[in-house]
Structure 1
Amino acid sequence: MDNLIAILQEEKVEFEIIHHDKPLRTAQEGANHFGIEIGQTAPTLFLKSEKGFFAMIVSGNRGRVDLDKVAEIIGCDQLKMANPKEVQQITGYTVGSVSLVLSLPCILDRELFRYPFIYGGTGEPASTLKLAPAALEKLNQVVAYLDIG
């Protein structure tokens, strides 16, 4: 997590690392724990294509994502979810605690921009990163956006 903090400080973004007693395993658990709307949670999904891996950071209230539509947006023939072993290999993190700041091409959900702050992973299961959606956009290699609705 020291690397994450260094990046956040270097990029001069406002953030807060919130420590908690146990891992928050779902968007709903996170929303309940922090007393926020589920849409403010920002789960990171990992997608695999013929072009390599992509991170997709979505709003917790999005529900299912149409991978065919996302493939079209980013110009891939086919997309599928990466498995937990692949996620660990490409990020160094376990599923459920992946950092919101990644060195992968990233697809961002525009829904997240409805909120002043969003909450997501730090790379450690017992902590959460709180920051503005614009900071997330600045910190990641954004290649596409998911539209609202």
Structure 2
Amino acid sequence: MTPAIDLLKKLKLTFHVHQYEHDSNETQFGKEAVEKLDPNLHVVAEQVFKTLVVTLNDNIKELAVCVVPVERHLDLKKAAKALHCKKIALADPHLAQKVTGYLVGGISPIGQKKQLPTLIDDSAKQFATMFVSGGRRGLEIEISPHTLTAVLKAEFVEISV
């Protein structure tokens, strides 16, 4: 289906795929996922995460990924500290697409062209499962936060406000 799903299948990990009809006029992709995921799943907004690509120290060749709840914002200072750099900024959307191989609104932290250093907001640890993009708009992967961290060699850090 997508590189993210292919990788998880290859690794024989436990995960679930959820699809919904993406509205092509929608630009709030994370909020759309929260609203359109099956109500029988009893998903709370804090359980759905967005994938943000950031540049380190104004260098477009130094990139990282931050995974934060869709209802929250990335704390740039906390993320910079965790990434051991002076400052970070959100990457240009075209750069994010080029580097990850995914379209904005469907960028998955899993199965990117090149695995970037990844931080996952520590709020994810409170849930048995979390939802991240499956690699395209309208496709979500439900996965254990600890499984996701292991796959990405990521770390849990408080990076959202």
TM over 0.5: yes
In structure 2, C-alpha distance between the alignment counterparts of 1:66 and 1:148, rounded to whole Å: 5
Give 1:21's aligned residue. Answer: 21
Which AA in structure 2 matches 1:53? L
Deviations 1:129-149 (A, max 9, x none): 111111111110315622687
What stretches of structure 2 of length at least 5 have no aligned partner? none
Give the secondary structure class of the aligned counterpart of 2:49: coil
- The 1:141/1:78 distance shift into structure 2, 3 A limit, reads same
1:58 deviates by 0.9
1:135 matched to 2:147: yes
Give 2:45's aligned residue. Answer: 38
Give 1:106's aligned residue. Answer: 118
Give 1:123's aligned residue. Answer: 135
Q: Give the TM-score normalised by the residue count of structure 2.
A: 0.80
- Equivalent residue pairs, number: 148
Give 1:4's aligned residue. Answer: 4
RMSD: 2.2
- The 1:94/1:114 distance shift into structure 2, 3 A limit, reads same
Q: Give the TM-score normalised by the residue count of structure 1.
A: 0.86
Matches within 5 A, 1:57-68: 57-61=67-71, 63-68=72-77
